[in-house]
Amino acid sequence: MKYGGKQYSFNGQLINHFNPQDKRTFSQRYWVDDQFYNPTSSSPIILYICGEGTCRGTPSEGSFPYQIAQKAGALLVALEHRYYGLSQPLGLESMKTENLIYLTVEQALEDLAYFMQWFKVNYKYRISESQPWITAGGSYPGALSAWFRIKYPHLTVGAWASSAVVNAIVDYSQYDYQNYLSVSKFGASCPKTIQSLNEYFEDQLYKTTPDVQKQFKARFGEKALKLTHQELLFYIADSFVSQIQYGKSSELCQFLANYTNFDALVNATIKFCTDVNSVDMYGSYFVSNSTFDADMEDKIGRQWNYQICSQLGWFQTAATNPAYALRSSKVDIEFYKEFCKNSFGKALWPNVDQFNNDFGGANFIATNVVNTNGCEDPWQWATRNTTSGSITSIYINCNGCAHCVDFHGAKSDDPVALQQAHSKIQSLVLGFFGKSSSENIII
């Protein structure tokens, strides 16, 4: 997805929203796109929530949020998540384990509310209290969008929550099972090939001499030598699923089918892994590095792993039935516990029961929320997939329809299911704004 907007800085964001005696602030980046905006008392604002990575700006041409903003005459605003990109609460000291205590969902939600109140008064158009806002986000930001609607129903008129992982789960084996289902659509040989490769990689790491093991790891690059055996298997698994998660199951399966010679397949797979993925997020050696500088801006391994280790979970383990597993069973819950401990120098583990009790999990209660899921998205098992009241869940069933597929810009050659989903989303979002959706979707 492309991004745009003009970048600004909100220099008064609170570091700790939950201690009224703590007046410390930091600079949080935000972006504004006002090209469709005509300031009136009823002009809408879409607050696009950036998540676990450097914010690139507001969604721009070629994205569906951009098309919705054009349709609604809305102001598009994007806010960078604390601790990511250059929005660092404690500057160069932000990444130290003791300073990550302010990296929580609750603090991030307060950031959004505090920013909105400041923006209304300080942005050049002086946003009135009567102007309707919605939040929009995909994946973890999709969950933030839904959670914001739960906690601050008076600040927005609705929420767009794409692939929103609202249900915190510790042992998330369903992720692996869904990946199996997704690639199986393109032939039984595809998952079997991945399983054969995993077996070979396990044998190289656990059934050979230390010298052979070292040589094998080195094939993934010098940094891979810093990974434990389990961490390397974690990295390999994620290299495959990074394709599946984003609707490229067909391309992945075709790539694997191109090789009839197993040695050639292994060589091609190792190159594939190093081309599409970096080991930095998968080795506790790298994640434990608390140094922050400009070169670290795009590295999110430490921050995101802190969030999942301390609060959110979603530890991806092999499918319960080995016949459906696309990742090594050696990457289990005990591995993740050790990984979290080694990464942050102390035992960290999420209390997901408490978290879901606070936010509602997959059964959260709110009004005016549109949830979306693609049929090939492995995260769908951590989302809400039922419709109730004014919470509408849309399931997009088509080949290649995976994570946050509804954020892709509407095109005339989209699968019918995606066209129908876009039409429904447009109707709902414009309805939140009190506008009619009688016209066709902008393409």
Of 230, 353, 382, 303, nearest to 50 by C-alpha is: 303
Of 360, 369, 361, 365, nearest to 392 by C-alpha is: 369
* Catalytic sites, residue numbers: 139, 377, 403
Identity at 25, one-letter amino acid code: T
Ramachandran angles phi, psi of 372, nearest 5°: -135, 150
Of 134, 111, 114, 130, nearest to 122 by C-alpha is: 114
Distance of alpha carbon 432 from alpha carbon 369, whole angstroms: 9
- Token pair 């500057």 in the structure block, residue: 91
Q: Which two tokens stand for residue 117?
A: 């109140």
Q: How many C-beta atoms surround the C-beta of residue 150 within 10 A? A: 18
Handedness of CA 401, 407, 412, 417 (dihedral sign): positive
Q: How many C-beta atoms surround the C-beta of residue 288 within 10 A? A: 15
Of 381, 379, 384, 380, nearest to 361 by C-alpha is: 384
Contact yes or no for 185/391 (Cβ under 8 A): no
Contact yes or no for 143/164 (Cβ under 8 A): yes
- Token pair 């989302």 in the structure block, residue: 383
Identity at 6, one-letter amino acid code: K
